[in-house]
Amino acid sequence: MRFTLRNDSNNEQIPGHGLREVRFFLLAGLLLCLHPFSAAGQVSYVARFSMEKKSYLLGEPIFCTFSIQNTGLLPFAFSFRNPTRILNPELEGEPRFSVIDTAGRRLADPAPRPCGGAKGTAVYGSVTLPPGQIHSERWLINQWARFRRPGHYRVRADRRLPLLGLDAAKGEFTGPPVAYASATNEIAFEVTAATEKDLRLAYEPYQKALEKPGTAGFPEAVLAVTALPQPYLLARLVTLAGAPSSERRWSREQALEGLARLGTPAAWDAILRIARGKGETRSAASKPVEAAQDEAFRAYAILLLAEKGDSAFLSPILSILDSAPDTLRGEIVRALGFFRSPRANQVLFERLHSPVIIDRVNAILGLRNLEIKDAIPAIIAMLNDPEAQVRQVAHFALRSLTGQSFTLSSSATPSESRRAEEQWRSWWGKEGATFTTRRQPPCRAW
């Protein structure tokens, strides 16, 4: 198979394909000249999902393969990316999987519901598929279904993939899709009981792939060990989470989530070290390098610890608070609401009076995450804050906690905010005694 991969972030192409691609585009242009009818009429494909085996071990990565063959006369192109599930269901071209057992019950979806409602994004490259060629992708079904016991299962897989046609004048695949490659398949398979020895053998190919980041199977290997972590893979997960940027070809956040899914004391301790900024690994040259120092990564580790809600993590996180940079400090304050601890709550209420705007904003968001009615009067009072940003966040938090639809313009003046405060206080005076805050389901399965 010959295709071109392009990463949208740096427009790099696989080396060694330049001359062949020129010849390919010249041939495609000639075909367009010889066949003056529409490109859409010439797009022909066969697309389907298939399972790699009929039987899998319980705890083994279960991959489903999507393949598409160009059976027409002209080339077409489509988007391509690493096979990590994206939580935004509105993204076009994403595969979807649902699994049922023999009783017709759908297996639980293990995907997290990130606190704050983030949908997720992806960086796409593109695949150019000449006539007669086949492109295949492996997707880990365990990202869509949690297998808890042995048994017989059926997976329904479907996808609607936009295909781009070649613009002969520009020599590029541009414009609206000329067709949509649709594939829908239902496939039966079995999951059998397994010993630890069985699983170790099943994971050997993925462990070997992790030793060679440049190989084709590396993304699937990272996905397998982070989505289905095993205790004997702890060191591998720590290495993935702590790799320096010069070696990184994966998301460190993905490795953090793998540690959280593993859920052993050693795994949570590794996350805590990263939160403190003390992660360390070694490069290929065996030189010590600092890992997990960037604030966003540390903040994500802190968020995972807070969502876990274990009071043992509270003191270490609070010890970071005063010395943390502004952005990281704000992330810590906001995360405190997930602990639902009197000590954490006290910090949140105290930060409402901080002279630093970002502290007050994040204290309000932390109280929203706390989801208790005692926080509502304090948040209502923040509608009198001298800073417009604080007033807007307070109004947002009140709507989120109560479900009330009171409005406040994004350009509201202090006097308009005071009127909103009076409206909220009036509502609270009538409803506060019997009001119950809306509790959201847990963010994640761990």
Q: What is the pLDDT of residues 183-223, one digit of tens each?
A: 999 999 999 999 999 999 999 999 999 988 878 889 999 99
**Residue pointed to by tokens 């999507």:** 66
Which neighbouring-strand residues pair with 164?
Answer: 77
* DSSP secondary structure letter of residue 13: B
**Token output for 90:** 């509105």
How many other CB atoms are found less than 10 A from the CB of residue 375? 25
Please check the confidence at residue 35 and state whether its pLDDT lies above 50: no
CB 50 within 8 A of CB 65: yes
Q: Read off the amino acid at residue 280.
A: E
pLDDT greater at residue 103 or residue 125: 103
Residue 355's SS3 state is: coil
CATH for 18-194 is: 2.60.40.10
**Residue pointed to by tokens 């699937």:** 220
Please check the confidence at residue 245 and state whether its pLDDT lies above 70: no
Q: Read off the amino acid at residue 24.
A: F
CB 220 within 8 A of CB 253: no
- Which residue from 124, 129, 128 is spatially nearest to 46, judged by alpha carbons? 129
Calpha distance 169→395 (Å, rounded):
54
Lowest mean pLDDT among 33-37, 230-234, 269-273, 359-363: 33-37
**Token output for 252:** 């460190």
Mean pLDDT of 31-38: 38
CB 438 within 8 A of CB 376: no
Angle at Cα 141 formed by Cα 305 and Cα 236, nearest 5°?
45
Residue 234's SS3 state is: helix
pLDDT greater at residue 221 or residue 28: 221
Please measure the distance between the N-terminal and C-terminal CA atoms of the chain and give it in whole angstroms: 41
Calpha distance 230→61 (Å, rounded):
11
CB 174 within 8 A of CB 167: yes
Average pLDDT, the chain: 84
pLDDT category of residue 299 using cuts at 50, 70 and 90: very high
Burial class (CB in 10 A: 0-12, 13-18, 19+), 312: exposed
DSSP string, 156-178: EEEEEEEEEEEETTTTEE-SS-S
Please check the confidence at residue 288 and state whether its pLDDT lies above 50: no
pLDDT category of residue 180 using cuts at 50, 70 and 90: very high
Please check the confidence at residue 291 and state whether its pLDDT lies above 80: no
Which neighbouring-strand residues pair with 129?
Answer: 76
Calpha distance 344→372 (Å, rounded):
13
Distances (CA, A) of 6 to 14, 93, 169, 188: 8, 17, 21, 35
- Which residue from 301, 90, 123, 115 is spatially nearest to 219, judged by alpha carbons? 123
pLDDT category of residue 443 using cuts at 50, 70 and 90: low
Please check the confidence at residue 38 and state whether its pLDDT lies above 70: no
pLDDT category of residue 279 using cuts at 50, 70 and 90: low
Calpha distance 249→243 (Å, rounded):
9
- Which residue from 98, 72, 76 is spatially nearest to 85, judged by alpha carbons? 98
Residues 143-159: pLDDT tens digits?
Answer: 999 999 999 999 999 99
Q: What is the pLDDT of residue 118?
A: 46
Q: What is the pLDDT of residue 5?
A: 33
pLDDT category of residue 427 using cuts at 50, 70 and 90: very high
**Chain mean position to CA 131:** 34
pTM of the model: 0.79
Tell which phi-psi region holds residue 51, choosing left (phi > 0), alpha (psi between -120 and 50) or beta: beta
Mean pLDDT of 110-137: 78
Lowest mean pLDDT among 32-46, 352-366, 390-404: 32-46
Residues 73-112: pLDDT tens digits?
Answer: 999 999 988 888 887 767 889 999 999 999 999 999 988 7
